[in-house]
Structure 1
Protein backbone atom coordinates (compact mmCIF):
# COMPACT_ATOMS: atom_id res chain seq x y z
CA UNK A 1 0.00 0.00 0.00
CA UNK A 2 1.50 3.34 -1.00
CA UNK A 3 1.55 6.29 1.34
CA UNK A 4 -0.25 9.33 0.04
CA UNK A 5 -0.40 12.79 1.52
CA UNK A 6 -3.71 13.47 3.20
CA UNK A 7 -5.12 16.97 2.73
CA UNK A 8 -4.91 19.08 5.89
CA UNK A 9 -8.70 19.40 6.14
CA UNK A 10 -8.94 15.61 6.56
CA UNK A 11 -6.60 15.78 9.56
CA UNK A 12 -8.51 18.45 11.48
CA UNK A 13 -9.24 17.73 15.13
CA UNK A 14 -7.34 16.80 18.23
CA UNK A 15 -5.34 13.82 19.39
CA UNK A 16 -5.12 13.39 23.12
CA UNK A 17 -3.07 10.91 25.09
CA UNK A 18 -4.35 10.25 28.60
CA UNK A 19 -2.18 10.81 31.65
CA UNK A 20 -2.44 7.09 32.37
CA UNK A 21 -1.07 6.21 28.91
CA UNK A 22 1.76 8.73 29.24
CA UNK A 23 2.56 7.38 32.69
CA UNK A 24 2.69 3.81 31.36
CA UNK A 25 5.09 4.85 28.60
CA UNK A 26 7.28 6.77 31.08
CA UNK A 27 7.33 3.84 33.55
CA UNK A 28 8.31 1.37 30.82
CA UNK A 29 11.08 3.63 29.49
CA UNK A 30 12.47 4.39 32.96
CA UNK A 31 12.29 0.74 34.03
CA UNK A 32 14.27 -0.38 31.01
CA UNK A 33 16.91 2.32 31.41
CA UNK A 34 17.24 1.98 35.20
CA UNK A 35 17.16 -1.84 35.04
CA UNK A 36 14.22 -2.36 37.40
CA UNK A 37 10.69 -3.76 37.04
CA UNK A 38 8.12 -1.16 35.90
CA UNK A 39 6.15 -1.73 39.12
CA UNK A 40 9.05 -0.17 41.03
CA UNK A 41 8.90 3.11 39.07
CA UNK A 42 6.76 6.06 40.20
CA UNK A 43 6.04 8.92 37.82
CA UNK A 44 4.33 12.27 38.15
CA UNK A 45 3.65 15.05 35.68
CA UNK A 46 3.77 18.82 36.12
CA UNK A 47 3.03 21.79 33.91
CA UNK A 48 6.25 23.64 33.08
CA UNK A 49 5.12 26.81 31.26
CA UNK A 50 2.93 24.84 28.87
CA UNK A 51 5.26 21.85 28.51
CA UNK A 52 5.24 18.57 30.38
CA UNK A 53 7.81 18.03 33.12
CA UNK A 54 8.28 14.41 34.16
CA UNK A 55 9.41 13.42 37.65
CA UNK A 56 10.54 9.86 38.28
CA UNK A 57 11.26 8.15 41.56
CA UNK A 58 12.72 4.67 41.25
CA UNK A 59 15.35 2.31 42.52
CA UNK A 60 18.20 1.49 40.16
CA UNK A 61 19.57 -1.94 39.33
CA UNK A 62 23.14 -2.46 40.50
CA UNK A 63 25.70 -5.23 40.88
CA UNK A 64 26.61 -6.27 44.44
CA UNK A 65 29.48 -4.36 46.03
CA UNK A 66 31.40 -7.63 46.49
CA UNK A 67 31.34 -8.16 42.70
CA UNK A 68 32.54 -4.60 42.07
CA UNK A 69 35.36 -4.92 44.60
CA UNK A 70 36.49 -8.20 42.96
CA UNK A 71 36.21 -6.73 39.46
CA UNK A 72 36.22 -2.90 39.32
CA UNK A 73 35.49 -3.06 35.57
CA UNK A 74 32.04 -4.40 36.46
CA UNK A 75 31.02 -0.85 37.35
CA UNK A 76 31.91 0.29 33.83
CA UNK A 77 29.93 -2.63 32.37
CA UNK A 78 26.70 -1.40 34.00
CA UNK A 79 27.24 2.23 32.98
CA UNK A 80 29.28 3.78 35.79
CA UNK A 81 28.39 5.18 39.17
CA UNK A 82 24.86 5.71 40.41
CA UNK A 83 25.21 9.45 39.79
CA UNK A 84 26.56 8.95 36.25
CA UNK A 85 23.79 6.49 35.38
CA UNK A 86 21.04 8.69 36.85
CA UNK A 87 22.34 11.70 34.91
CA UNK A 88 22.49 9.73 31.66
CA UNK A 89 19.05 8.24 32.35
CA UNK A 90 17.41 11.69 32.26
CA UNK A 91 18.30 12.27 28.61
CA UNK A 92 17.50 8.69 27.59
CA UNK A 93 14.10 8.71 29.29
CA UNK A 94 13.22 12.08 27.77
CA UNK A 95 14.15 10.89 24.29
CA UNK A 96 12.23 7.61 24.58
CA UNK A 97 9.08 9.13 26.07
CA UNK A 98 8.99 11.87 23.43
CA UNK A 99 9.58 9.37 20.64
CA UNK A 100 6.97 6.86 21.83
CA UNK A 101 4.26 9.33 22.85
CA UNK A 102 4.78 12.20 20.43
CA UNK A 103 4.61 14.55 23.43
CA UNK A 104 7.10 17.33 24.06
CA UNK A 105 8.78 17.26 27.48
CA UNK A 106 10.59 20.21 29.02
CA UNK A 107 12.64 18.10 31.41
CA UNK A 108 12.94 14.84 33.32
CA UNK A 109 13.85 14.80 37.00
CA UNK A 110 15.14 11.49 38.38
CA UNK A 111 15.22 10.58 42.06
CA UNK A 112 16.98 7.31 42.85
CA UNK A 113 15.12 5.84 45.83
CA UNK A 114 17.34 2.80 46.36
CA UNK A 115 19.33 0.07 44.68
CA UNK A 116 18.05 -3.29 43.47
CA UNK A 117 21.08 -5.55 43.75
CA UNK A 118 21.36 -8.40 41.25
CA UNK A 119 23.87 -11.18 41.94
CA UNK A 120 24.51 -12.53 38.46
CA UNK A 121 24.32 -11.45 34.85
CA UNK A 122 23.13 -8.16 33.55
CA UNK A 123 21.35 -5.87 35.97
CA UNK A 124 17.66 -6.69 35.19
Structure 2
Protein backbone atom coordinates (compact mmCIF):
# COMPACT_ATOMS: atom_id res chain seq x y z
CA UNK A 1 0.00 0.00 0.00
CA UNK A 2 1.48 3.36 -0.89
CA UNK A 3 0.34 6.79 0.07
CA UNK A 4 1.90 10.20 0.19
CA UNK A 5 3.25 11.10 3.60
CA UNK A 6 2.78 14.69 4.74
CA UNK A 7 5.88 16.57 5.80
CA UNK A 8 6.30 19.68 7.94
CA UNK A 9 6.27 22.06 4.96
CA UNK A 10 2.91 20.72 3.79
CA UNK A 11 4.38 18.80 0.85
CA UNK A 12 3.81 15.09 0.37
CA UNK A 13 6.53 12.52 -0.14
CA UNK A 14 5.94 9.55 -2.39
CA UNK A 15 6.98 6.10 -1.34
CA UNK A 16 5.84 2.82 0.06
CA UNK A 17 5.12 1.65 3.57
CA UNK A 18 5.20 -2.09 4.03
CA UNK A 19 4.59 -4.19 7.09
CA UNK A 20 6.51 -7.46 7.02
CA UNK A 21 4.81 -10.80 7.51
CA UNK A 22 6.88 -11.26 10.65
CA UNK A 23 5.59 -7.98 12.11
CA UNK A 24 1.98 -8.87 11.23
CA UNK A 25 2.44 -12.30 12.78
CA UNK A 26 3.84 -10.83 15.99
CA UNK A 27 0.93 -8.39 16.16
CA UNK A 28 -1.61 -11.17 15.56
CA UNK A 29 -0.03 -13.38 18.23
CA UNK A 30 -0.05 -10.53 20.77
CA UNK A 31 -3.69 -9.67 20.01
CA UNK A 32 -4.73 -13.32 20.27
CA UNK A 33 -2.79 -13.81 23.51
CA UNK A 34 -4.52 -10.81 25.06
CA UNK A 35 -7.97 -11.90 23.90
CA UNK A 36 -7.53 -15.53 25.02
CA UNK A 37 -5.65 -14.85 28.26
CA UNK A 38 -2.50 -16.77 27.33
CA UNK A 39 1.11 -16.00 26.43
CA UNK A 40 1.93 -14.87 22.88
CA UNK A 41 4.56 -17.62 22.63
CA UNK A 42 1.73 -20.19 22.96
CA UNK A 43 -0.08 -18.86 19.87
CA UNK A 44 0.58 -20.02 16.29
CA UNK A 45 -0.48 -17.68 13.48
CA UNK A 46 -0.65 -18.32 9.73
CA UNK A 47 -1.74 -16.01 6.92
CA UNK A 48 -3.43 -16.86 3.63
CA UNK A 49 -4.70 -14.82 0.72
CA UNK A 50 -8.50 -14.63 0.62
CA UNK A 51 -9.37 -12.93 -2.69
CA UNK A 52 -6.94 -10.08 -2.07
CA UNK A 53 -7.59 -9.78 1.66
CA UNK A 54 -5.69 -11.46 4.48
CA UNK A 55 -7.17 -14.42 6.30
CA UNK A 56 -5.68 -15.15 9.71
CA UNK A 57 -5.63 -18.66 11.17
CA UNK A 58 -4.71 -19.05 14.82
CA UNK A 59 -4.03 -22.10 16.97
CA UNK A 60 -3.87 -21.35 20.68
CA UNK A 61 -4.87 -22.53 24.12
CA UNK A 62 -7.37 -20.53 26.14
CA UNK A 63 -7.18 -19.69 29.81
CA UNK A 64 -9.80 -21.14 32.13
CA UNK A 65 -10.42 -20.84 35.85
CA UNK A 66 -9.47 -23.83 38.01
CA UNK A 67 -12.24 -26.41 37.74
CA UNK A 68 -12.55 -26.79 41.51
CA UNK A 69 -13.38 -23.07 41.74
CA UNK A 70 -16.08 -23.50 39.09
CA UNK A 71 -17.57 -26.44 41.00
CA UNK A 72 -17.71 -24.30 44.16
CA UNK A 73 -19.01 -21.22 42.30
CA UNK A 74 -20.61 -21.95 38.88
CA UNK A 75 -21.12 -18.21 38.36
CA UNK A 76 -17.35 -17.97 37.93
CA UNK A 77 -17.80 -19.18 34.33
CA UNK A 78 -19.87 -16.11 33.52
CA UNK A 79 -17.52 -13.90 35.51
CA UNK A 80 -14.62 -15.17 33.43
CA UNK A 81 -16.29 -14.16 30.15
CA UNK A 82 -18.58 -17.11 29.53
CA UNK A 83 -18.06 -20.48 27.94
CA UNK A 84 -15.01 -21.31 25.86
CA UNK A 85 -17.20 -21.04 22.76
CA UNK A 86 -18.53 -17.59 23.71
CA UNK A 87 -15.07 -16.32 24.60
CA UNK A 88 -13.63 -17.60 21.31
CA UNK A 89 -16.35 -15.86 19.29
CA UNK A 90 -15.65 -12.59 21.16
CA UNK A 91 -11.90 -13.08 20.71
CA UNK A 92 -12.26 -13.42 16.93
CA UNK A 93 -13.92 -10.02 16.68
CA UNK A 94 -11.42 -8.38 19.05
CA UNK A 95 -8.42 -9.85 17.21
CA UNK A 96 -9.74 -8.79 13.80
CA UNK A 97 -10.35 -5.24 15.03
CA UNK A 98 -7.00 -4.92 16.82
CA UNK A 99 -4.90 -6.27 13.95
CA UNK A 100 -6.79 -4.20 11.38
CA UNK A 101 -6.54 -0.97 13.37
CA UNK A 102 -2.88 -1.29 14.34
CA UNK A 103 -1.55 -2.58 11.01
CA UNK A 104 -3.87 -0.87 8.54
CA UNK A 105 -4.30 -4.25 6.84
CA UNK A 106 -7.68 -5.50 5.68
CA UNK A 107 -8.54 -8.90 7.08
CA UNK A 108 -11.34 -10.99 5.64
CA UNK A 109 -11.63 -13.29 8.65
CA UNK A 110 -10.00 -14.77 11.72
CA UNK A 111 -10.20 -18.51 12.32
CA UNK A 112 -9.33 -19.85 15.76
CA UNK A 113 -8.66 -23.45 16.76
CA UNK A 114 -8.43 -23.91 20.51
CA UNK A 115 -5.59 -26.36 21.15
CA UNK A 116 -5.88 -26.71 24.91
CA UNK A 117 -6.60 -24.99 28.19
CA UNK A 118 -4.29 -23.09 30.51
CA UNK A 119 -5.41 -22.93 34.11
CA UNK A 120 -5.58 -19.35 35.30
CA UNK A 121 -4.54 -19.43 38.96
CA UNK A 122 -4.78 -15.76 39.83
CA UNK A 123 -7.73 -13.40 39.52
CA UNK A 124 -10.24 -13.61 36.75
CA UNK A 125 -9.75 -14.99 33.28
CA UNK A 126 -9.54 -12.21 30.69
The TM-score normalised by the length of structure 2 is 0.88
Query: Deviations along 1:57-95, whole A, 9 cap, x unmatched?
Result: 000000011111111111111110011111111101000
Gaps of 5+ in 2: 1-6
**What's the Cα RMSD here?**
1.7
Decide which of 23, 26, 29 is 2:25's aligned counterpart: 23
- Shift, 1:120, TM fit: 3.0
Query: Deviations along 1:4-55, whole A, 9 cap, x unmatched?
Result: 7945xx2422211000000000010000010001100000000000000000
**CA distance 1:76–1:6, shift in 2 (3 Å):** farther
Decide which of 65, 68, 82 is 1:66's aligned counterpart: 68
**Partners of 2:103 and 2:27 in 1: CA distance:** 7
Aligned positions of 1:1-124 closer than 5 A? 6-7=10-11, 10-123=12-125
Q: Is the 8 A contact 2:81 2:125 kept in 1?
A: no
Gaps of 5+ in 1: none
**Partners of 1:47 and 1:54 in 2: CA distance:** 9
Q: Count the aligned residue pairs.
A: 120
